[in-house]
Structure 1
Amino acid sequence: MITDAQKQEFYQALLDKNAHYEGVFFVGVQTTGVFCRPTCPARKPKFENCEFYKTAQEALIASFRPCMRCRPLSHPGQVSDLVRTLVDAVEADPSRRWKDRDFEELSVDASTARRQFKKRFGMTFVEYARSRRMGLAMKQIRAGDAVIDAQLNTGYESSSGFRDAFSKIMGAAPTKFTQHNKILKASWLDTKLGPMIAIADDAGLYLLEFIDRRGLEREVERLRLKTKVAIIPGVTDPINSIRLELEFYFDGKLKVFKTPLNLLGSSFQRSVWEELMRIPYGNTRSYMAQAASIGKNRAYRAVANANGANQLAIIIPCHRIINSNGDLGGYGGGITRKKWLLEHEASHV
């Protein structure tokens, strides 16, 4: 999590074009839709139009595309021909899901692309393309209901690329819905631990996840397939409810969530999730103890898998499950967030 003090520090480094901050942060510019390195030569944006990220992948998922002047996906002062070719190919068709034949058409070796992107940017090229595709969909979710082609054309070469990417993830282009369609709605929620996506209908919440969670796109697709409906940007009463409750939770003023939920899972998974919600605020429990609590003493691995299938972060508090030896164990939102959540709850018991 980037603090307010760090944002001020990063903004000053941006104004100074301070090369010492190369690789430390990237800045997303709301007015242009691009993200840049600290030494970008372009005219500097106002502070209120900046969003700061520690990795390029975070900036991509937040809907920003690479700046064409400072090229944040290349080493400072050096533009890789391979990187430029692949990034340009993604921008030409953001909705593409890359296969080996796609690399062959560009005369690029897939393993070389994977290795170079991983070494330089901490993600493979396929992960980059996926993050870009997800970011396009998140742009519309973040903007709300309106689909304004003029705005999309300002930030992207074609709004059709945006609509294609959106429909790949959400099920249909956002302009193709009428009041007769049964739909789920998705909203972007800003929190102290980073942005989250909430998906709900008028009756209850289906999904609440951190935007940068690994595998989020697959989670959304599974939800869409299970419910057999498409997902569009919008707001429902459960989304408004969880937005408010999260504000109180992060301020240490809420310990039990009341937002209505829709739990889509097997009877075993639901039993695990319901038991998770019985773990008192500020407490932790081991996987083995969690298995015993539902009468399945030997099923702690299955319990761990059910925890991992949880699509309602924080509300269903799988962050309260730790290893028997006291280690934190895994967490879909990242260990840093898990540690923060546990310390936050312990300090407000």
Structure 2
Amino acid sequence: MEFERYLLKTLLNHLLPNKVNLIFGTRRVGKTYLLKQLTARTAYRTLTLQGEDYDTQQLLAQRSIANYRRLLDGVELLIVDEAQEITDIGLILKLIVDQIEPLRIVVTGSSAFDLANLSGEPLTGRAYFHQLYPLAQCELAPYENSLETRQRLDDRLVLGSYPELLQLSGTADRQEYLKNLVNTYLLKDILAFEGVRNAAKVKDLLRLVAFQVGKEVSMDELGRQLQSSKNTVEKYLDMFTKVFVLVRVGGFSRNLRKEVTKTSRWYFTDAGIRNALINDFRLPALRTDAGALWENYLIAERLKILQAQRRPVEFFFWRTYDQQEIDWLELENGQLRAYEFKWSDNRATITRTKVPKAFADAYPDATFTAIHRDNYLEFIGG
């Protein structure tokens, strides 16, 4: 079954002469598949290059206008897949986009690509940046009815949404796929960063964070458990966000002294990766962390739909020192929205969910909504 990725329409709208569209995402998230969908929907004369191909690397290494004009003669759309493997790709693209007209460029890469090659000067003002997540519920919705969506929810909380999982029928095969994904592609991207050598420590840190999803993480405590410095832990956690494995959520405050702001919560962009790290693929009904699974799933899916809708939303959690808290806050165009996530299907429990008094007093114009299994599809665009 083929799914139209949510970035496709955005890319088609941004295929402009002498602009570069940069698509970032983890390995196996579907970047190459998205490129195939893109070329099928355009009539441009296209040249596709594979960044992992040695001949491609050598072809682009000769950084001269004459070389690139020969290569791109008659080409209207240039695609470079896995471009992080090409040395100085940012400078190469800058020369091409400035000197060869009219040319549209689409480039994919893992996160190391951004830090190593494209941060700073080379493509300033010349590029659109896009992040591709695993499959979103809004992408799956056209291909399933409401009953199928409900029946598949447990699997999505446990196994996540990497596209290739849909091609595997057995539960054991899907679990094995996720374990291999963690141990090969995911760690490969992380270890590509300069100064990261200890794969075991990196994986141990991710495991510790996986056990604390939805909780505030103490850098000092993680450092003690790993026998590493607080600075090293902070560096690695920042790196995990840049390889699109983790999402950092900070505390919200408008200077109320009793609000917590100096700690962060961390969520995985895909629940399957989180569960593979802790080697727990049990169904939510059999787990003590079902609430954390639900919270992580909703946040990952919310980020996908917000990106699909191209909405510039800031997000936070909220807590006071006397333990009043809200799971998820969004600030958009001055409007503050608060959401509390409830996994329980007990109607009385859901009905009792009220906005904390301290929050209501401090932010009377904010909205408050409990997100549960009866209304979650409205929240994630499904």
Pair in the same fold by TM > 0.5: no
Of structures 1 and 2, the one scoring higher in RCO (CA 8 A, sep 6+) is 2
Q: TM-score, normalization: structure 1?
A: 0.34
User: TM-score if structure 2 supplies the norm length?
Assistant: 0.32
Which of the two has higher C-alpha Rg? 2
